[in-house]
Amino acid sequence: MDMRSWEATGQLDQLKREWEKVRDLGSLVAAAEELASNFKDPERTPKGVRLKLIDLIRDGDVGPLLTDGSYEAPQKGPQIERTVASDGSPVLTSRSANITNVKELLEFARQRGCAHDLEEWQITAFKENVWTVTAKINGELVPADNWSVYAKFGLQRPIERVQVFAEEAKADILADMSTRDSEWFRRVSEVREYTDPHLLELHLADFHLCSLAWAEETGADWDLSIQRRMFKEAVEDLLAKASKFEVDQILWVAGNDFFNSDNIHGTTAAGTPQDMDTRYQKMFREGQRLNRWAIDRCRVVAPVIVKVIPGNHDPLLSFALGEVLEVAYNNVEDVQVDNAACPRKYFLYGNTLLGFTHGRESAVNQKHYGEIMATEARQLWAKARYCEFHIGDKHHRKGTTHTLYDDMYGVVTRIMPTLSAPSAWAVGMGYKSYRGAEGYLWSRDRGQAAMFVYNVEIATDNTGLQLVD
C-alpha cells in the first residue's frame, strides 16, 4: 500500500494529527508501508492500526525518511529521554513495553550513551508506572503492557572516592613530614612575642558594692568582705593575663553601678530599696579606696585613663567618686580622669573608637548605639575603623553586631558581665547569669587583639545553690 492508498482510507490524516509532534511524516509513511498488509484484512480496525503504529514508532522499528527516498535503518529498542529538573538534576524517562524498572532504564541509557556522566550521581527519586492496552488483531483482543519509568539523580560522591581521597591526603602528609627535621619543628614551635603597643581596657561593670545576698536564698553569699577580696582578685588576674603583651596605656572604667545604692536611705536613685550590707558612709569610703587601689595597681604597668560612667543605681555617688579621683590624681602625670557630666563617654586609641554607657537610655534601642556614637563623637568617628560600644546594666555577657551604613564600619555593642551575686529580687524574677569580669586588649592598627576573662568559681550542688559548711 502506497501513500495514496493511505490517503484514500482517510487514516493518514488522523495518524498524522496524533503523531506529527513525535516523528516526521516520513516515519508515518514508513509505518504505513509496514502495516499495509493489515489493510487488506477487512476486520482490521483503525484503532488497531494506530496501536500498532504506536509500538513501531515508540520502539524505534521505523526510521525516518531520507532525502533520497530510502528509509534510515531504525534503532531497535525503546526510546529514552534525558531532561534537566528545575534544581539542575538530570532526569531519565522512558515509555516502553521493554523497559519495566529503573535498573533496565539505567542500563539501556548507558548503552545509548546518555548516562556516561552519571557515575558520580545516585538515584534520589523514581517512578515505575504500568498500564494495559487492548488491541483487536485478526478478530482477537490482545492485551499489552506499557511501562513508564522515571528516574531523578542527585550528585553524591561514593564512599570509595572518599576513601581514595583520604589515602591520597595521607600520602601527601607523610611525604611532607619526611622532609622536616627536628630543627624545622623547633623553629615553627617558637612563639612570637608581640612587641606592638596595646591598650588594656578593664571594666568591672555592675559591681554593686555593699549589696547583700544570702546563699540559701540566692545561691551565693555576697557581702563587703567577699566583694573586697573578689575585686582585687579580678584586677590582679586580668593584669597577669595581659602581661604577655606590650601595654602602653590602661583604660579604667569606673562607676557604672559600682555602688549598690545612691543615698543614706539605701535606695537607688529612683527610690528602689536595696539589700545593703553596711552604712552609706562606709560604702562610699570603701568604694573610693578600691578604685584608687586599682588605678595605682595599673600605674605599675602603664599610664592610666579613667572614664567615670554614671549608673542607674548610683548616678550621684558615681559622680562623687569621679570628683574624688580627680582630686587624688590632680598632680599625677600618668593618670587622667574624665568625670564629665555627660552619660556617655568615648575614647580613641589608634583607629579604634570605644564608647561607654550604662545602657539605661529609655529611648535608645541597643542597635542604635552606633548612630549615637557617630553623632556625639563626630571627629573621633572620622578617624576610626573599629568601633565598639560597651554597656552594663544587663548583668550578662552578650555581643551583638549591627551595620551602620557600610559593612566596613560595623559597630559592635557589647554587654559587660558582672562579678556581683544575684540579689533576692533577681533570683525571684528568674534572672541568672555567669559571673565574671573581662579585660580587652586593643591594637593601635588592628582593633581588638585579645580578651581576658576572670570567672567566679563557686562550689554548688545540682540545685545551683552554693555549698555552705
Is 310 in the same domain as 424?
Answer: yes
Q: Clarify whether residues 413 and 297 are in a common domain.
A: yes
Q: Does 384 share its domain with 396?
A: yes
Q: What is the pLDDT of residue 368?
A: 78
Range of the structural domain that residue 387 is part of: 198-455
284 and 148, same domain (yes or no): no
Residues 317 and 422 in one domain: yes
- Which residues neighbour 54 within 8 Å (Cβ) at sequence distance 6 or greater? none
CA–CA dist 400, 413 (Å, integer): 5
Tell whether 75 is covered by a domain: no
Distance of CA 420 to the CA centre of its chain: 32
182 and 147 belong to one structural domain? no
Residue 73: inside a domain: no
**What local confidence, expressed as pLDDT, does residue 27 receive?**
56
pLDDT at residue 170, as a whole number:
86
Co-location of 118 and 234 in the same domain: no
Amino acid sitting at position 161 = R
CATH number reported for the structural domain that contains residue 244 in this entry: 3.60.21.10
Helix (H) or strand (E) holding 355: strand 352-357
Residue 146: its pLDDT value, please? 79
Instruction: Find the length of the chain.
Output: 469
Say how many domains are in the chain: 4
Same domain, 319 and 445: yes
Q: Are strands 198-203 and 436-443 parallel, antiparallel or unpaired?
A: antiparallel
Residue 69 lies in a domain: no
Assigned domain for 216 exists: yes
- Write out the chain's pLDDT in tens, 469 residues: 444 444 445 555 555 555 544 445 555 555 555 555 555 555 555 555 555 555 555 554 444 445 555 444 444 557 788 888 888 888 889 888 778 888 888 888 888 777 777 776 778 888 888 888 775 556 667 777 778 888 888 765 555 566 767 888 888 888 877 777 766 666 666 666 778 899 999 999 988 998 898 888 888 888 999 999 999 999 999 999 999 899 999 999 999 899 988 888 888 888 888 888 888 899 999 999 999 999 999 999 999 999 999 988 888 999 999 999 999 999 999 999 999 999 999 999 999 999 999 887 655 666 678 888 889 999 999 999 999 989 887 755 544 444 333 333 478 888 888 898 888 888 888 877 778 899 999 999 999 999 999 988 754 444 444 444 4
Whether residue 271 contacts residue 215, with contact meaning beta carbons closer than 8 Å, is answered with no
Q: In whole angstroms, how far apart are CA 308 and each of 39, 292, 335, 337?
A: 107, 13, 13, 8
Q: Does residue 290 share a domain with residue 184?
A: no
In this structure, the answer to whether residues 385 and 302 fall within a common structural domain is yes
Domain presence at residue 71: no
Q: Which residues contact 464 (CB under 8 A, 6 or more apart)?
A: 219, 432
- Tell me what pLDDT residue 156 has: 59
Answer yes or no: do 42 and 87 share one domain. Answer: no
- pLDDT score, position 29: 55
Do 147 and 97 meet the contact criterion of CB atoms below 8 Å apart?
yes
Question: Has residue 274 been placed in a domain?
Answer: yes
8 assigned to some structural domain: yes
Residue 469 within a domain: no
My answer on whether 346 and 276 are in the same domain is yes
